Structure 1
Amino acid sequence: MSSLKPIRKAVFPVAGLGTRFLPATKAIPKELLPIVDRPLIQYAVDEAREAGIEQMIFVTGRGKTAIVEHFDVAYELESTMAARGKEMSALGPTRATPGDIITVRQQVPMGLGHAIWCARAIVGDEPFAIFLPDELLIARNGGAGCMKQMVEAYGEVGGNIISVLEVPRDEVSNYGVIDPGERNGALTEVRGLVEKPPVEKAPSNRILSGRYILQPEVMRTLERQGKGAGGEIQLTDAMATMIGNQPFHALEFDGRRFDCGSKLGFVEATLTLALERADMGADVRAMAERLLNA
């Protein structure tokens, strides 16, 4: 489908308060909490870059300026490290090219749908991606990241694409859930979407896992949409209205998911990725065994 507009822009809703990680997030944005030595937002931005996305749109709130500063050039730090002959390759991905990072402010916390709507002027009339940085998605065995897989699928079917993963049935009420239609490989037609359904009413156990490619019409839907689950403007509700009017598919991500919005998921991600590091994996494994056997 060569006539499709490319996915050049991505929205990162990062205005949340991070209350589940207090007091750590009192002064530090939760998106800057590190998994080993790389903050959550860096994983998401690196995934976007791998997929060919050129412009990152951060929807921020009060106290979140440190996220933007993370992607700035730190002159004092870099000059000091250079003068001391320190290795600086780790800083490479944190330097954004001028114009690559744009911020807009979500002044009132009214939900994910409202946060995405705040970026409407920058998105314009282009299809765009959405990344929820709390959802850390890691490819298997050095394969393509989730968004790269989604962009490739978009090139085949166009329309709207969301990433999904299966979870135990008793967990579905914590997530947005798809009503699946016909399946073709990793892609499944989406017939409906439900935000945090009761277990007994959930149409499947396949949940939205924090990555989206959406057409710009969703912004007009969000413009007039009322509040949904939790008294917030839900992105899932806006997407549901587009089903049947535009192609809508779910991509089952070939990789691993860590829910870093929870403390347990955050610890699991840190331990898992530390164990896989060539420079520290063996030492971390020995440490874990020592602690477990204490």
Structure 2
Amino acid sequence: MKKIRKAVLPVAGFGTRMLPASKAIPKEMITLVDKPLIQYAVEEAINSGIETIIFVTSRHKKPIEDHFDRFFDLEETLSRSGKEEELKKIMYLANCCEFISVRQKEQRGLGDAVYCAKSIVGDEPFAVILPDDVILSKEPVIGQLIEQYNEMGGSVIALQEVAPENTSKYGIVSIEEEINDRLFKLNDMVEKPRENPPSNFAIIGRYVLTSAVMENIGNIESGALGEIQLTDAIKKEAEKGLVYGYKFKGERFDCGNVKGYIEATLNFALERDDLRDYVVELIKNKFI
């Protein structure tokens, strides 16, 4: 099988759930502890063996590209000031992998955003990471999915169990076969079912997809709102028995909304050796 070398990161949206913070800067550049959200997604990809990151952007997302580019004036200033650790951090950003940007000129759904990267992905399998979903885990989630892809040979999507009353907020999968306690063969998926969800396993923003899924996107029709859904393209492969769902190891935070962002900030800070004691003491003094 071909190696998973490329990851598509759709970042063209307006981020309206994070207004007014996302009015003048991309929501993906909002800082979580001391790094922008987009950097967590990129680092997860790199730590999973990804060699090329494809940003699917829009006209107001240039700061994302700048963040992963060289900044010679700053580098020189840090070097002259003897701030070697800070210099290493920003040099790492520019050199950690290959970055390519393509434009989604009109927002027509997640499937359309992924399809914008078709000419770069080519006929290879690829990963998709939605940066709003930030996941705290010892092993990068895309790496977990790649491991399952290498074993099973089909597309693999990340799953999370959700409460039955919350299934209407997610894409929900239908399970054909339980392979083990984390891996399932899927036969269908439903976007935000209002009633009778096929399971309580929700699709989370991590995918490892075969080239057939990319081809399917190009052949599906847009829905009522003119959007092309990624799940419709994946469903075509699920009907052939070629899609698996994996209950990933880790804790997911929806940083596309304020409550999820606050929860992520606390959890990621508490994971840091240099911040944990400070945060615990701060909470004790303020609320206990």
For this structure pair, what is the TM-score category when the shorter chain's length is used for normalisation? over 0.9
CA distance in 2, matches of 1:151, 1:220: 20
Shift of 1:289: 2.1
Question: How far did 1:290 drift?
Answer: 2.1
Match of 2:283 among 261, 278, 288: 288
CA contact (8 A) 1:160 1:246 kept: no
Question: 1:230-276 CA distances to partner (integer Å, 9 max, x unpaired)?
Answer: 55211111111121335210111011100111110001000111122
Question: Who is 1:91 aligned against?
Answer: 90
Supply the distance in 2 between the matched residues of 1:232 and 1:49 (Cα, whole angstroms): 30
Residue in 2 that maps onto 1:222:
217
SS at match of 1:5: coil
What is the number of equivalent residue pairs in this alignment? 285
Residue 115 of structure 1 aligns with an amino acid whose one-letter code is A
From 173, 177, 188, give the equivalent of 1:182.
177
- Which residue is 1:19 aligned to? 16
User: Which structure 1 segments of 5+ residues have no match?
Assistant: none
1:257 corresponds to which of 252, 257, 263: 252
| TM-score of the pair, normalised by structure 2 | 0.95
Gaps of 5+ in 2: none
Matched, 1:79 2:66: no
Tell me: CA distance 1:221–1:116, structure 2 relative to 1, closer, same or farther (3 Å): same
Quote the residue 2:61 is aligned against: 64
Letter in 2 for 1:215: T
The answer (yes or no) to whether the contact 2:133–2:205 under 8 Å persists in 1 is yes
Q: Corresponding residue for 2:162?
A: 167
- Cα deviation for residue 227 of structure 1 reads 2.5
How big is the shift at 1:173? 1.0
1:78 maps to amino acid: E
The range that moved more, 123-132 or 211-220, is: 211-220
Distance 1:259 1:97, change over 3 A: closer
Correspondence for 2:188: 192
Q: Is the 8 A contact 1:165 1:253 kept in 2?
A: yes
Partner SS, residue 224 of structure 1: coil
Deviation track 1:158-195 (CA, whole Å, cap 9, x = no partner) reads 11100100111111111111101211222100111111
Partner of 2:147: 152
Contact 1:138 / 1:146 at 8 angstroms: preserved in 2? no
Task: Map 1:115-134 to 2 at 5 A.
Answer: 115-134=113-132
Task: Quote the Cα distance in structure 2 between the aligned partners of 1:165 and 1:156.
Answer: 21
Aligned with 2:273: secondary structure? coil
Asked whether the equivalents of residues 195 and 229 of structure 1 are also in contact (C-alpha less than 8 Å), the reply is: no
Q: Runs ≥4 in structure 1, deviation > 4 angstroms?
A: none
Report the alpha carbon displacement of residue 23 of structure 1 after superposing the two structures with TM.
Answer: 1.5
Secondary structure of the structure 1 residue equivalent to 2:218 = helix
Offset at residue 92 of structure 1 (A): 4.3
Conservation of the 8 A alpha-carbon contact between 1:196 and 1:229 = no
Q: Percent identity?
A: 45
